[in-house]
Amino acid sequence: NFRTFCSVSHLSYDDPVVYPRQPGAAHLHMFFGNTLANANSTYESLRTTGGSTCQGGPVNRSAYWMPAIMNAGGRVVAPEHLKVYYKGNGTQSGIGSVASNPNGLRMIAGYNAANPGAIRADWKCAGGAGQQTVPSCPAGSELTVDIRFPMCWNGRDVDSADHRSHMAYGTGGSGWITALGGCPASHPIHVPEYTLIAVFKSDGNSQNWYASSDRMPGMAAQPNGSTFHADWFGAWENSAQETWTQECIREMRNCV
């Protein structure tokens, strides 16, 4: 694995994957990574402009975003930090053949209104079990939400109409833990598995926190945190990405 850490960049109602070239069309998002990510972002603009709130700075101009998390009073709660993992899961031979992410790859993971049974994020208090809604954690304690993206690519498309279908989870461990069984024939290219972990500090009333996507205009409110999802729009400098793919994932090292 290769892991790095990021901090929040900005808040915006933009979503360059779901609502490209439509400023203000989305629910409130919290962006990290590329400091200039917006509704008009493309691979080319991300790669060539903006700073980065992730370690490595402009070497990693990828854009990462998720729904803003709100406290009981409706104010945005900023995470203490964000952990970003790129992993290789599966057999030793499978990990040894993991491909670098293609330029411009973008994807969404987590809650999917069109497929409620899709893999969800895990919320948990420090030392606690994961659940799909925001738990009640003691004041001052750690509250995390983590989400794993699919690691199998169809080899053709860097995006799809639903921003999900060009990717798939592996066939082992229910796809959530590992690609031990390999990738499905429809999505044969094993790429690094991207995992996001957002770390918050509980205010003692965390069970009443919610994601901005839980309270969408014109829609019934959803259980707190149940609609959590995240987006990723890759824009790594190619030689850096290939270095951590080769030396950390294929060669099975634990890197930071």
pLDDT given for residue 208 in this prediction: 98
Extract the tokens encoding 186.
Answer: 């429809």
Q: Where are the alpha helices (DSSP H) in the chain?
A: 43-48, 92-96, 238-244
Cβ neighbors of 129 (< 8 A, separation 6 or more) are: none
Q: Which of 33-42, 93-102, 110-119 has the lowest mean pLDDT?
A: 110-119
Predicted confidence (pLDDT) at residue 175 exceeds the cutoff of 80: no
> From CA 190, how far away is CA 136, in angstroms rounded?
37
Q: CB within 8 A of 54, min separation 6: which ones?
A: 4, 5, 6, 32, 33, 60, 62, 64, 84
* pLDDT class of 171 with cuts at 50, 70, 90: confident
Residue 217: predicted pLDDT:
84
Task: State mean pLDDT over 133-157.
Answer: 96
Q: Which residue has the higher pLDDT, 51 or 176?
A: 51
pLDDT at 177 over 70: no
What pLDDT score does 182 carry? 82
Q: For residue 210, report the phi and psi dihedrals to the nearest 5 degrees.
A: -150, 160
pLDDT of 117 > 80? The answer is: no
Q: Give the pLDDT mean for 20-43.
A: 97
- Beta-carbon contacts of 227 under 8 Å, excluding residues fewer than 6 positions away, are 67, 110, 111, 113, 211, 213, 214
Length of the chain (residues): 256
Give the three-class secondary structure for 239. Answer: helix
Residue 63 — pLDDT band, cuts 50, 70, 90? Answer: very high
Among 85-89, 153-157, 179-183, the range with the most confident prediction by mean pLDDT is 153-157
Q: Which residue has the tokens 């860097």?
A: 158
Q: Confidence band (pLDDT; 50, 70, 90) for 206?
A: very high
Q: Name the pLDDT band for 181 (thresholds 50, 70, 90).
A: confident
Tokens of 228: 């959590």
pLDDT band at 174; cut points 50, 70, 90: low
In which band, very low, low, confident or very high, does the pLDDT at 43 lie, cut at 50, 70 and 90? very high
- The answer, yes or no, to whether residue 151 has pLDDT greater than 60, is yes
Q: How far apart are CA 195 and CA 169, in angstroms?
A: 13
Identify which of 26, 61, 44, 12 has the alpha carbon closest to the alpha carbon of residue 158: 44
- pLDDT at res. 173: 63
Distances (CA, A) of 103 to 46, 157, 158, 212, 241: 11, 11, 8, 30, 10
Give residue 120's pLDDT.
Answer: 87
Which pLDDT band holds residue 178 (cuts at 50, 70, 90)?
A: low
Average pLDDT over residues 193-214: 97
Lowest mean pLDDT of 64-73, 165-174, 195-204, 237-246, name the range: 165-174
Q: Which two tokens stand for residue 79?
A: 């995470």
Q: Contact at 8 Å (CB) between 63 and 233?
A: yes
Q: What is the mean pLDDT of the chain?
A: 94
Percentage of the chain exceeding pLDDT 70: 97
